[in-house]
Amino acid sequence: MVSSTPARGASNGNAAEGRVGQLLQIACRLFATRGYDGTSLRDIAEEAQITKAALYYHFPNKEALYQQILAENLETLTTRVREAIEHADSAPEKVRTFMLTSADVYAEDPHAWVAGSNAFWSGMGAANRAAMVKRRDKYERLLRACIVEGIAAGEFRKVDPALTGRLLLSTLNQLTRWHSPEGRLTPRQVIEQYLDIILRGLQSSASGQG
């Protein structure tokens, strides 16, 4: 899910931008598979086949690099989801679109999701952590707004929107713990079956049985 957006500070043309994009992708994979604490800038430089000095030229330290990866990933996820739900014309359809689009983003780059998910457990500085939580909240608020809208419109029962959002997000976040790309179902297919249960459980009696 690492986008090809150029790194802040890299302004000397497409070659440098491509190089930074590659670096971010390699670093993201290492952070996801070895954890933040288990990955050093030396590991990333070795994997990218560049010198540590060249890596330092782009990123002053490991936390700055990690921050940029997390920020881009969450930005991509949030933008994709926001654009997708604009075309949905009911709250249940919006919740479904939020979840399936997220599942697709997950499937396209599970490492990005794992790196983001592990971030909350890493020894990140307070300021960076606050910035990341703010970005994640923006994503989560999109979902919560769909739930609130559905309750107001009488499409959903009067559930707790925050907890219902947690329930839905738990199913996405737990994919990283068990889903295998070689499994019989894609993330989208898994989430579709979950939604079949959860959306039915949210239906107000007024909105009828689907």
Residue from the set 171, 186, 188, 207 that interacts with a copy of itself by CB under 8 A: 171
Contact segment (CB under 8 A) with a copy of itself among 41-49, 52-60, 92-100, 188-196 equals 188-196
Q: What minimum distance in Å lies between the beta carbon of 25 and a copy of itself?
A: 22
Contact pattern for a copy of itself over residues 96 through 125, marking x by CB under 8 A: ---------------------x--x-----
User: Does position 140 bind a copy of itself by CB under 8 A?
Assistant: no
How far, in Å, CA of 173 to CA of 181, rounded?
15
Structure tokens that stand for 138 in this block: 């923006």
User: Does position 38 bind a copy of itself by CB under 8 A?
Assistant: yes
Residue from the set 205, 206, 207, 208 that interacts with a copy of itself by CB under 8 A: 205
User: Does position 170 bind a copy of itself by CB under 8 A?
Assistant: yes
3-state secondary structure of 203: strand
Structure tokens that stand for 16 in this block: 């440098």
Residue 18 vs 154, nearer CB to a copy of itself: 154
* β-bridge partners, 203: 156
Q: Which ranges of the chain does DSSP label H, i.e. alpha helix?
A: 13-34, 41-48, 52-58, 62-85, 91-108, 110-119, 126-152, 161-178, 187-202
Residue from the set 173, 186, 188, 207 that interacts with a copy of itself by CB under 8 A: 173
Cβ of 102: how many Cβ atoms within 10 Å? Answer: 28
* Mutual angle of helices 13-34 and 62-85, in 10-degree steps: 100
User: Does position 200 bind a copy of itself by CB under 8 A?
Assistant: yes
Residues in the chain: 210
How far, in Å, CA of 25 to CA of 76, rounded?
14
User: Does position 141 bind a copy of itself by CB under 8 A?
Assistant: no
Where on the chain is the footprint of a copy of itself (CB under 8 A)? 37-38, 117, 120, 159-160, 163-164, 166-167, 169-171, 173-174, 177-178, 185, 190, 193-194, 196-202, 205, 209
